[in-house]
Amino acid sequence: MWTANATHQLYLWITTIPKEKTLFSSFYPIIMKNYVDVIGHPNSLPPFASGFWHCKNRYRTQKELLDVAKGYYDRQIPVSVIVIDYFHWTAFGDWKFNSTCWPNVPQMMNELKSYGMKLMVSIWPHVEEKSENFITMNTTGLLTHDANGSVLPTTGLINNFYYYIPDQFNSTTQQYIWNRIKENYFAYDIKIYWLDADEPQNTRPGLQWWYGRHDDEIAMVLAREHQRMFWDGLREEKEQEIIMVSRQAWIGSHLFNVVVWSGDIDSSWEESFKQIKVAQNVALSGIYWWTTDIGGYRPVGLDDNEFQELILR
CB atoms closer than 10 angstroms to residue 74: 9
Instruction: Give the Cα separation of 275 and 308 in Å (integer).
Output: 18
Catalytic residue check, 189: no
> One of 129, 146, 189, 199 is an active-site residue; which one?
199
> One of 94, 128, 167, 196 is an active-site residue; which one?
196
Instruction: Give the Cα separation of 225 and 198 in Å (integer).
Output: 10
Catalytic residue check, 74: no
Catalytic residue check, 67: no
Residues belonging to the chain:
313
Residue pair 154/126 in contact (Cβ under 8 Å)? The answer is yes
Residues taking part in catalysis:
196, 199, 264
